[in-house]
Amino acid sequence: RFVPNDLLTRTYNACCILLNDHWEDMRTAGFVSNRIYDALAAETFVISDRVTGMDPELEDCIVTYDSPEDLRQKIRYYMEHPAERAEKARRGKELVLRKHTFAQRTELIREQLDGCAGVLI
C-alpha cells in the first residue's frame, strides 16, 4: 500500500527488517531502488535482492539475498541478532547522509551537465 512521504520514516522505523526487491529491468540496468536510500536515511535495516554494483556502493550497509531459501536464512539470522541489524542501519544512515543526499545528487548532476550546449543549469 501507498505510504505518504511524511509517514515514511515512522513506517520504516516500525519494522525490524525492511524487505526490498527490484523490478527486473532495474536489476538488469544496475538501478538501485530509492527505497533503499530512504530506508537507510531512516536508519532502518534492509535486506534486498542483489543488483549489480549495489554492494560496493552501499559499503556493506545492507544485506542481499540470492534465493528464497537464502532470504529465509538471513531473516532468521538477523531476527536473532538485533545488534548487528542496528549497526548496519546506523552505518547506512551515516553513508546516505555523507554521500547520497538530494543536495549532493543535484550538485553531481550540475557538474556532469556543466558546459553542455543547450542545457540550462
Q: What confidence tens digit (pLDDT) does each residue in 7-33 have?
A: 999 999 999 999 999 999 888 888 899
Predicted local distance difference test score (pLDDT) of residue 114: 79
Predicted local distance difference test score (pLDDT) of residue 120: 57
Q: What is the mean pLDDT of the segment spanning 94-113?
A: 85
Q: With cut-offs at 50, 70 and 90, classify the pLDDT of residue 121.
A: low
The answer, yes or no, to whether residue 117 has pLDDT greater than 70, is: no
Q: Which residues contact 61 (CB under 8 A, 6 or more apart)?
A: 40, 46, 88, 89, 91, 92, 95
- pLDDT: which is higher, 112 or 80: 80
In this prediction the pTM is: 0.84
Q: Which residues contact 49 (CB under 8 A, 6 or more apart)?
A: 20, 21, 22, 27, 64, 65
Alpha-carbon separation of residue 50 from 9, 14, 77, 120 (angstroms): 23, 24, 18, 36
